[in-house]
Amino acid sequence: MNDFPSILQNHLLWVSLIACLIAQAFKLLIELLRYRKFDLRSLFTTGGMPSAHSALVASLATGVGLIQGWESTDFAIALLFAIIVMFDAAGVRQAAGKQARLLNQMVDELFQENQDFNEEKLKELLGHTPLQVMVGVLLGIAVALFAEPWL
């Protein structure tokens, strides 16, 4: 527990978290421009443009490459971790979101006459399109490259 303050000195950790936060802030801005409404919930939701998960792991992998070297084992681990996260965001979670949308539609159609049926809707925006993932990756790489002097 005595080492906890040293975690706060890990610049790569902060750079990666900042990349994630910037992506989430872009979601808020896009929501504001698209729907003309300021909704702070968009800062804490999954899915949408750009992928904050992808920005975080791309920034992490890029930072590890810059610090440890592109041929390092640490970079290989970070890159493979990033690929798994991005594949999950664009594949598995997007499929789960499509299933949720279909189930919500089925429940609506099945129980539209029964007003007593009060089932909570499933969250439909879970994953990302490949474009959302790619924009997140580019954002994460850009943040890490910009922050390179502090790494």
Give the domain ranges of the chain. 4-150
Residue pair 36/54 in contact by the 8 Å Cβ criterion: no
Torsion angle, CA of 29/32/35/40, rounded to 10 degrees? 100
The answer to whether residue 137 scores a pLDDT higher than 80 is: yes
Whole-structure pTM value: 0.78
Mean pLDDT of the chain: 84
List, for residues 58-83, the tens digit of each pLDDT value: 999 999 999 999 999 999 999 999 99
